């Protein structure tokens, strides 16, 4: 959050005042720092550039933040992209992303999605089932082309993270069991409309130690060697994403430490390295600005009711995620008091933070930190609330990269009946 800082008592995004942004955009509004996005991406790319012996591709995970403005910042740096739907594919193309740097993940790609990806020439499909393998083979055969594929392997590694964002255990729906993967590769090699190019693995999100990454890569490399022995040579190894960030007191490895461990494990190998970071690039590059509407007390609790809600930022309700909440203006408002910071949606689970010590008054602006990943992208119109605007800050200037929805947007496509 270094590009979000206080200056003369005002919380700034780079050199832009969040107070002034709120005046221009209203609240709630998502604000992203262009500088932070760039630095967080370059931390991976530059660390990989140190090892000239390993070709590499850093693919930003679009599901973390799919705003076209955000994607365009990364595309200009030459970033690749990890997508999971046709909608994300079109967003990357609109943002100027290179289709040859796109890996298409996701567990249930439709025929139309496969067709579109083949038309634009994606780098490869990360395949998660035999059914999907057959579907891609059929589509590519009908189109008279060859589809590049990589098998997503489930290594049965415990990522030690929230169960909702763990993806590498046998009981998870993702990937092909590592014990069955060799057989699936052999089957794929018999399908003439497929070209086997790699192997993929993604074990979960918000990992704060290197151990699960190292365990899964060790198992992956063992399989790569087994494939080589039966004549299936791979061009790349995709280690997925999942590196955590600091929301509260976590101390995850840096991208440089993570990359160094990967390079060490890959020594002597000819395959290129692909990775799919998302949260670690976007999370701390964004915040959510909201305003205190009402302060309410009962004999047991004090509530700060804000104009942002679970439809704007669902992570606290969904994962019990902890997000730091700061006043936008450090003005003396009296002693600190304990608040549950909650939204106006009709759900008890509608909260941004509980038991927060704040000195605030009605009308004050608050900043919900670390909101750049899995924030707006997971928002909804629950309670018929319009979705927030999004802004990218570039130094002392800021740019609207999504307008706030209107009531017309909210009911577009709906109609009454006679």
Active site residues: 346
Give me the torsion for CA of 164, 167, 169, 171, rounded to 10°: 60
Phi-psi region of 319 (alpha: psi -120 to 50; beta: other; left: phi over 0): alpha
Place of tokens 């979000």: 4
Element (H, E) at 112: helix 111-120
**Is 186 in a helix, a strand, or coil?**
helix
Nearby residues of 61 by Cβ (< 8 Å), 6 or more positions away: 81, 82, 241, 276, 277, 278, 279
Sign of the CA dihedral with 188 first, then 189, 194, and 195 last? positive
Residue 68 tokens read as 């076209």
Element (H, E) at 198: strand 194-200
Question: What letter would DSSP give residue 207?
Answer: B
Distance CA 22, CA 364 (A): 11
**How many C-beta atoms surround the C-beta of residue 103 within 10 A?**
26
Closest alpha carbon to 102 in 112, 110, 91, 111: 91
Place of tokens 């998502």: 30
* Contact assessment for residue 390 and residue 384, using Cβ atoms and an 8 Å cutoff: no
Phi, psi of 163 (to 5 degrees): -60, -25
């Amino acid at each position: 959050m270094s590009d979000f800082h206080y200056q003369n008592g005002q919380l700034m995004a780079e050199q832009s005042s969040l107070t002034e942004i709120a005046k221009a955009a209203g609240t709630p509004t998502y604000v992203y720092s262009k500088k932070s996005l760039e630095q967080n991406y370059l931390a991976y790319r530059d660390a990989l550039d140190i090892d000239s012996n390993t070709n590499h591709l850093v693919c930003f995970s679009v599901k973390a933040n799919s705003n076209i403005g955000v994607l365009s910042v990364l595309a200009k740096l030459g970033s690749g992209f990890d997508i999971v739907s046709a909608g994300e594919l079109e967003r990357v193309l609109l943002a100027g992303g290179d289709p040859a740097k796109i890996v298409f993940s996701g567990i249930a790609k439709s025929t139309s999605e496969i067709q579109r990806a083949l038309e634009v020439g994606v780098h490869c499909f990360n395949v998660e089932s035999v059914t999907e393998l057959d579907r891609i083979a059929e589509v590519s055969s009908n189109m008279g082309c060859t589809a590049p594929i990589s098998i997503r392997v489930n290594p049965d590694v415990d990522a030690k993270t929230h169960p909702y964002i763990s993806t590498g255990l046998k009981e998870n729906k993702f990937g092909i069991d590592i014990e069955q993967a060799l057989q699936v590769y052999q089957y794929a090699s018999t399908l003439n409309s497929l070209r086997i190019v790699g192997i993929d693995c993604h074990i979960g999100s918000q990992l704060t130690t290197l151990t699960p990454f190292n365990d899964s890569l060790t198992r992956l490399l063992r399989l790569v060697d087994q494939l080589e022995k039966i004549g299936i040579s791979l061009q790349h190894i995709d280690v997925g994403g999942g590196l955590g960030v600091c929301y509260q007191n976590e101390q995850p490895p840096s991208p440089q430490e993570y990359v160094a461990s990967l390079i060490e494990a890959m020594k002597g190998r000819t395959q290129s390295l692909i990775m799919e970071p998302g949260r670690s690039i976007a999370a701390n590059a964004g915040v959510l600005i909201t305003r205190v509407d009402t302060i309410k007390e009962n004999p047991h609790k004090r509530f700060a009711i804000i104009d942002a809600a679970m439809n704007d930022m669902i992570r606290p309700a969904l994962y019990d995620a902890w997000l730091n909440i700061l006043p936008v203006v450090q003005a003396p408002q009296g002693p600190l008091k304990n608040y549950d910071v909650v939204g106006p949606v009709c759900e008890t689970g509608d909260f941004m933070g509980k038991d927060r010590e704040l000195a605030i008054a009605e009308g004050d602006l608050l900043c919900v930190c670390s909101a750049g990943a899995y924030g707006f992208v997971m928002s909804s119109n629950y309670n018929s609330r319009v979705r927030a605007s999004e802004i990218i800050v570039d130094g002392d200037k800021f740019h609207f990269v999504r307008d706030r929805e209107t009531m017309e947007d909210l009911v577009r496509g709906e109609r009454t009946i006679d």
